């Protein structure tokens, strides 16, 4: 599918489902983006680590775990999901023994989050994802460090993350 067609399909998905439940929105967005191809940053961008904007990701129809998570975050935000319920979460994928990124959705602050992941096509509660160990998480407002699977400490702002800042600058240029 061409980049323009993917962008149109995403726009239709977002605007035709604004009144759906958050659970439906999560599933639609997860399924849409998980249809893209996984590829390393070195293959796509000739860089060791690069966080693509959602437009860059859609344009290539390929990306790594950060790109999947960021695109899902912004699509859900456009669908009206409160970003205080969303956290881009850096984890250790224990079976792969490597760093990985997922999107966590917190139905309420005290509930176990649901995990949207490009490695596991289905959305599962974090308590069922024994293959992941959280390291840190963030959204547009805050940054948290994980002390354990169930305990996090607020640790600052996402502006502390250079790759997030770089992606935000490129995103601002895309929309201006």
State both tokens at 107.
Answer: 């139905």
Cα first-last separation, the chain: 26
Over residues 49-72, the pLDDT tens digits come to: 999 999 999 999 999 999 999 999
Say what the pTM is.
0.95
Number of domains in the chain: 1
CATH of the domain at 33: 3.10.620.30
Domain that holds residue 47: 3-175
Q: Are 104 and 113 in contact (CB under 8 A)?
A: yes
DSSP label of 154: E
Over residues 129-175, the pLDDT tens digits come to: 999 999 999 999 999 999 877 788 889 999 999 999 999 999 999 87
């Amino acid at each position: 599918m061409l980049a323009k067609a993917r962008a149109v399909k995403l726009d239709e998905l977002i605007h035709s489902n604004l009144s759906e439940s958050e659970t439906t929105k999560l599933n639609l967005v997860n399924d849409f983006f998980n249809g893209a191809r996984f590829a390393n940053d070195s293959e796509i961008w000739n860089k060791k680590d690069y966080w693509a904007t959602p437009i860059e990701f859609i344009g290539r129809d390929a990306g790594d775990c950060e790109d999947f998570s960021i695109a899902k975050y912004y699509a859900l935000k456009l669908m009206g999901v409160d970003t205080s319920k969303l956290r881009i979460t850096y984890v250790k994928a224990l079976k792969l023994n490597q760093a990985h990124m997922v999107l966590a959705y917190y139905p309420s602050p005290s509930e176990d989050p649901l995990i949207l992941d490009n490695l596991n096509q289905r959305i599962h509660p974090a308590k069922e994802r024994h293959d992941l160990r959280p390291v840190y998480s963030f959204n547009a407002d805050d940054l948290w460090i994980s002390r354990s699977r169930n305990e996090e400490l607020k640790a600052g702002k996402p502006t502390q993350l250079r790759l997030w800042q770089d992606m935000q600058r490129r995103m601002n240029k895309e929309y201006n």
